[in-house]
Amino acid sequence: MSLIARLLSVALLPVEAALSAWVERRSRRRVVLKLRLQGTLFEAGGSRRSSRPTLLGWLRLLRDAGADPSVRGVTLRLGKLDVGWAQADELRAAIAALRATGRTVHAYLERPGQTEYYLATACDRVTLPPESVLDVLGLRAEVTFFKGALDKLGVEATFVAAGDYKSLGEPFTRETMSEPFRESLDGVLGAIHGGLRDGIAEGRGLEPEAVQALIDGGPWFAGEAVEQGLIDDAAYPDRWIRAVRKAHEADDAAGPVEFKPGSNWLRPRRWLRAVRSHTRRRPVVAVLVAQGEIIDSDEGRERVGKLAHRPLRATLRALADDDRVAAVVLRVDSPGGSAVASDLIWRELRRLRKKKPVVASMANTAASGGYYLAMAADRVFAAPGTITGSIGVVAGKFDVSGLLDRIGIRNEVLSYGANTGMFSATEGLDERTEARLREQIEQFYGSFVGKAARCRGLDYDALEEHARGRIWTGTQAVERGLVDAVGGVQDAIADATDRAGLDRAEVWVVEPPLPPPWERLGRALPGGMASRLPRSLRELVPALRAQLDLPDDGAVLARLPYELRIR
């Protein structure tokens, strides 16, 4: 420990004593915490934006509520949520863990959609506003095919994939789903829908068949939902709070309870934890958030929402050299992207693993290149609703020569190589160039599967059977040996702590460096235009951009075939 660190530890000792006494005095009070969850739940805080709500922050808050002796229960007001299904799984598990400590959790659904209701069913009681409607209708997937439009424009799409299920190019080369595409998507959607149905059944004390009948009969007005046993009450917020207070006072004759904002009430405990970490110099488990599409950093396209090799490499090496970091949890939320960049990051993770334990935690999506990163870890956790797998690669391009001809544009070409037009947008692939591209794809696919098999301790053929570009839920991936266990980021942190031989460790959340501010500013629409677009267009544009944002040099992609958002 440096001299400055020692002096700081000594100076903080009186602060620690004062905070300990304050926390002890507060623990004698009887408190119900008021929590409100709405909007987007981020995986990380973002540089200089640590105030935005994060999943790990909420998981810690719920855990701290269960450890505080003053807390008798929690009121949870749920507004409109924008969270992935895996995040919903982790929050739901955290609510169940809080209830297991003896605390009661009362939920009030301000915007009773499907995700919000799924979370609420983990609580003791669920209440809706009297005139609201419970929108629980089941899951649905829609896939848009562009081939007909491209034919009319004179644009021809050619994609070569390794694996029958690697369907990235199908929306541009077919007018309907192929059978492997349908089988893969239907398998995942059906499994997640089953989790939704069974979760509701467990939380509400109903049979799964009865829940499916209620889903088929929805949506339900609040009064009808009470009659069907989907919720406990329909009441205005003030009456709901009054009922919660009455229930707590009836359960405990010690007197009235105080209602306190959750984050404010638990903050002194967090301060005490932070001070103790400095005075006692506890080892650290670093949670590294690897989020976004994986890109080649040499292209100079490090952007918000992208995961580049070079910045991540620098972060991984810093963690490897930091003596206080005892273990690393890699939190992956990525559909993949560049196959080469995925392999380079995988290599850096394997090097880090030689120095200290690395445990992977899969978020909403860790597929294709995202799976490539996770398989480098000592152990891999996935939530039940995580989208993972998609072990496969694809490459292709669009030939716009027909479109140019229709509008009177003509190209003259000078070429000094037989394959110079392989990745040109004004020339299609002939049999020879397509065969050469397929050879490259198959070679990379074989390498991907081989590395996955070695990392997972399986024979090549045993793993390849579950590869071929097919996606799986977290639960399905565990059953097939692609993932070690069903669990969330808290489970991964606990496992990493054990692997480091520690009883307890401080947790740091680490993010790769963001792009320069001028690059981030350049991507922002002026005047908040994005927020004024209709929701359907706001969702369609990113999905279409993800499909069309292909490298112009024909690079091999290890990427999820589509954007899958389940609501």
pLDDT value of residue 427: 87
In a domain, 396, yes or no: yes
Q: Is 371 in the same domain as 444?
A: yes
Which of 206, 241, 268 terminates a domain? The answer is 268
pLDDT value of residue 309: 87
pLDDT value of residue 369: 93
> Tokens 């499909």 appear where?
547
- When pLDDT is averaged across residues 420-434 and rounded to a whole number, the result is 86
Q: Is 376 in the same domain as 309?
A: yes
Per-residue pLDDT of 352-410, as tens digits, reads 999 999 999 999 999 999 999 999 999 999 999 999 999 998 888 899 989 988 999 98
Quick one: pLDDT band at residue 456, thresholds 50, 70, 90?
Answer: very high
> Tokens 């010690």 appear where?
254
pLDDT value of residue 546: 47
Q: Is 410 in the same domain as 361?
A: yes
* Total domains, the chain: 2
0.75 exceeded by pTM: yes
* Higher pLDDT among residues 41 and 558, named by residue: 41
Tokens of 255: 């007197």
In a domain, 44, yes or no: yes
Which spans in 205-353 are helix H? 208-217, 222-227, 237-251, 262-280, 309-321, 339-353
Per-residue pLDDT of 207-254, as tens digits, reads 999 999 999 998 999 999 999 999 999 999 999 999 999 988 876 666
Quick one: pLDDT band at residue 530, thresholds 50, 70, 90?
Answer: very low
Per-residue pLDDT of 182-209, as tens digits, reads 999 999 999 999 999 999 999 999 999 9
Q: Is the pLDDT of residue 338 over 50?
A: yes
Q: d(Cα 42, Cα 489) in Å, to the nearest integer?
A: 13
Q: Is 116 in the same domain as 240?
A: yes
Assign residue 232 the CATH number of its domain. Answer: 3.90.226.10
Q: d(Cα 550, Cα 147) in Å, to the nearest integer?
A: 17
225: helix, strand or coil: helix
* Higher pLDDT among residues 177 and 524, named by residue: 177
Which of 202, 234, 268 terminates a domain? The answer is 268
How far the first Cα of the chain sits from its last, in Å, is 49
Q: Is 341 in the same domain as 442?
A: yes
In a domain, 204, yes or no: no
Q: d(Cα 325, Cα 356) in Å, to the nearest integer?
A: 8
Q: What is the mean pLDDT of the chain?
A: 84
Which of 239, 268, 297 terminates a domain? The answer is 268
In a domain, 277, yes or no: no
Task: State CA 481 to chain mean position distance.
Answer: 21
In a domain, 146, yes or no: no
Range of the domain at 230: 26-137+218-268
Q: Is 502 in the same domain as 551?
A: yes
Q: Is 235 in the same domain as 294?
A: no
Q: Is 484 in the same domain as 555?
A: yes
Question: Among 150-159, 287-296, 421-430, where is mean pLDDT lowest?
Answer: 421-430
Q: Is 357 in the same domain as 423?
A: yes
Q: Is 287 in the same domain as 226?
A: no
In a domain, 191, yes or no: no
For the chain, percent of residues with pLDDT exceeding 70: 79
In a domain, 318, yes or no: yes
Per-residue pLDDT of 254-279, as tens digits, reads 667 888 888 887 776 665 566 556 55
pLDDT value of residue 511: 77
Q: Is 260 in the same domain as 391?
A: no
Tokens of 329: 């949890």
Tokens of 479: 């059953």
Quick one: pLDDT band at residue 168, thresholds 50, 70, 90?
Answer: confident
For helices 431-456 and 339-353, what crossing angle results, to 10°? 20
Q: Is the pLDDT of residue 496 over 60?
A: yes
Q: Is 261 in the same domain as 335?
A: no
Q: Is the pLDDT of residue 36 over 60?
A: yes
Give the highest mean pLDDT range of 11-25, 136-150, 424-438, 475-489. Answer: 475-489
Of all helices (H) and strands (E), which one includes residue 190? helix 179-204
- When pLDDT is averaged across residues 67-87 and rounded to a whole number, the result is 92
